[in-house]
Amino acid sequence: MIFEKVKAQIVELLQVKPELVTPESDFINDLNADSLDIAQMLLTMEGIFGIEFDEDEIKTLKTVDDVVKYIERTKK
Q: Where are the domains of the chain?
A: 2-75
Question: Collapsing DSSP states into helix, strand and coil, what is residue 44?
Answer: helix
Class of domain 2-75 as given by CATH = mainly alpha
- Mean pLDDT within 18-33: 97
Q: How confident is the model at residue 9 (pLDDT cuts 50, 70, 90)?
A: very high
**Positions marked active-site:** 34
From residue 18, alpha-carbon distances to 3, 15, 32, 67, 75 in Å are: 12, 9, 14, 17, 25
| Start-to-end CA span in the chain (Å) | 14
- Mean pLDDT within 10-19: 96
Q: What is the predicted pLDDT for the residue at 51?
A: 96
**Is the CB of residue 53 less than 8 Å from the CB of residue 45?**
yes
Q: Could you tell me the pTM of the whole model? A: 0.93
Q: What is the predicted pLDDT for the residue at 35?
A: 92
